[in-house]
Amino acid sequence: MKQPKYIQKQITQMKVAVVGATGLVGTKMLQVLAERNFPVTELIPVASEKSIGKEITFKGKQYKVVSVEDAIKMKPDVAIFSAGGSTSLQQAPLFAAAGTTVIDNSSAWRMDPTKKLVVPEVNAHVLTADDKIIANPNCSTIQMVVALKPLHDKYKIKRVVVSTYQSVTGTGVKAVDQLFNERNGIDGPKVYPYTIDLNVIPQIDVFTENGYTKEEMKMILETKKIMGDESIQVTATTVRIPVMGGHSESVNVEFANDFDLNELRALLAKSPGIVVVDDPANLKYPMPLDAHDKDDVFVGRLRRDETQPNTLNCWIVSDNLRKGAATNAVQIAEYLAAAHLIGQPVEA
């Protein structure tokens, strides 16, 4: 994976809380922290009351799950949240008031005008030491803006039309259970309103008054905020499909300026966090199975939209639990550490 410029040798050590440590994304965050060798000097796993006292393993050591109250008293340098919006609204300010920097994976703070919404490859530069609650964007938004940012800088995006094909893992472990129960003929609990196996459900989250779902509106509003450009027009259709491994997106992008397709492909290939898989002659294109457990955003099926000028069609795939959630949150923490905005500096 091509790393952003901010990734450098860490010269900080820090106390890290993971709130929601026993959940699907929280477990993935622990895995990513270990794999990326984040400088954790003390891990504080936090979960709901029913999980307090349970043990989790991190880098071969056992750690007991503690309560929010106990975690705050331990004064972590950073708290990475993946415990749902209502929990974050209640608990993130408590950590922030104690001096902890919170990186929140829920939708609670994303559109709050006083909070930064960050994808490190796109806008990490907006972060300061005063940002005590930082929002991690929606998974489908993250992978799209990673691919769009270098194109916007070069050609200026006017309009984006995106249709998503999203993994059941985006809903959580109960959705994964529903899929495999259906596949195995087991009558179990359902989190979707319809059967998901051998089906496609054109609804993610609840519908809003304008006929779009909340997931679709997240992509529309978050893209503008992250890219720092309200002039970008975005329209979205988000769809749940019975796959594991990652989310896929069909994206149509209209630019203000024309582009050379080979130049555009080369630009993407050299941009941080992106892997171009675009060889139709040999049937090479991104798929969720290939993206599974990887941190990159994969881009392919690059071609001109022949119905109007300055317009590109492309296909974007990424692991929604990693770059779409855990990895992006950890990368934010990495940026903060490298910029000495969190942690305790030590001698190099």
Q: Could you tell me whether strands 297-304 and 247-255 are parallel, antiparallel, or unpaired per DSSP bridges? A: unpaired
For 284, list phi and psi in degrees, rounded to 5.
-105, 120
Q: Report residue 219 as tokens.
A: 């992509």
- Which candidate in 152, 247, 292, 314 is catalytic? 247
Residue 201 pairs in a beta bridge with: 240
For 214, 236, 268, the CA distances from 315, given in Å and listed in that order, are: 22, 14, 13
d(CA 30, CA 165): 26
314 in catalytic set: no
Q: For the stretch 211-248, what's the b/e string if a residue is b when 16 or more beta carbons lie within 10 angstroms of its beta carbon?
A: ebbebbbbbbbbbebbbeeeebebebbbbbbbbebbbb
Identify the active-site residue in 139, 152, 292, 314. Answer: 139
339 vs 336: CA distance, rounded Å: 5
Measure the CA–CA gap between 277 and 10, rounded to whole angstroms. Answer: 31
Beta bridge partners of 253: 160, 312
User: 343 vs 94, 121, 184, 327, CA distance in Å?
Assistant: 19, 21, 48, 19
Whether 146 contacts 226, CB under 8 Å: no
* Catalytic residue ranges: 139, 247
